Structure 1
């Protein structure tokens, strides 16, 4: 693989990991979003990645999968959105799982960024050799 090829493949990885980071941060931001029991709960977002075919390699976002809209029912009679029995609906999102995914996505992004930096350094070193 050429230096430019490595930069391209790592760039596609960075894009997928950035989308994953966006999805996880959206899930964490809506962790405590309350809805009336008659409405759907916030649906967690999950990035679906797919390998790119052809000679270029890399990965791309195929789409976004949504989690369950059922949520979890919680008894909060003082909540203004509570139904007649005092229940509201929260999203069914596990904070520990989301934090683990956040760390994995962050590390993957950092690894791909390091590949881009190293490929750039290699290319610059090759240019210096050519000048001498």
Structure 2
């Protein structure tokens, strides 16, 4: 029964990680055209995951995941030619946030699919536990 609880825990860690990723993607999309108080464009946020490998559990295939950090992207800002914009530099280019809509949408779809996969694993484990309990009756 302890193995079932570990399976629940691993699936839950994956769902939590993907939920955090979805929140970060939502923040990136919400700030697609935003600037900070100091006038600098918003920097895209990225989630960093880490596999929690434990040698004794690795042989059993038990590797949960955790969110290590949420960091700002070091990708360059987008440059848009708009000489009439008050934020334009001397060449007429405006720095825009380094958020790419298409990439964010693809990341969102991937996060949703990963969340669903973990949820399905969680549900399958729950079904196994229920059937095991029915057999014991």
Question: Into which bin does the TM-score normalised by the smaller protein fall?
Answer: 0.7 to 0.9
Q: Which runs of 4+ in 1 moved over 4 A?
A: 83-88
1: CA distance between counterparts of 2:89 and 2:32? 24
2: CA distance between counterparts of 1:69 and 1:39? 18
The alignment's TM-score, normalised by the length of structure 2, stands at 0.79
1:92 maps to which of 98, 105, 124: 98
8 Å Cα contact 1:41/1:70 also seen in 2: no
1: CA distance between counterparts of 2:119 and 2:19? 11
User: In the alignment, is residue 13 of structure 1 matched against residue 3 of structure 2?
Assistant: no
2:109 maps to which of 95, 98, 103: 103
1:51 maps to 51
Any gaps of 5 or more consecutive residues in structure 1? Answer: none
The alignment's TM-score, normalised by the length of structure 1, stands at 0.82
User: In the alignment, is residue 24 of structure 1 matched against residue 30 of structure 2?
Assistant: no
2:40 maps to 40
Give the 3-state SS of the residue equivalent to 1:103 in structure 2: helix
The 3 A distance-change label for structure 1 pair 84 and 92 is closer
Give the 3-state SS of the residue equivalent to 1:2 in structure 2: helix
Give the 3-state SS of the residue equivalent to 1:43 in structure 2: coil
1:37-56 Cα shifts (integer Å, max 9, x gaps): x7321011110000113336
Instruction: State the Cα RMSD in Å.
Output: 2.5
The 3 A distance-change label for structure 1 pair 124 and 87 is same
Any gaps of 5 or more consecutive residues in structure 2? Answer: none
Structure 1 residue 35, shift from structure 2 partner: 5.9
Give the 3-state SS of the residue equivalent to 1:28 in structure 2: helix
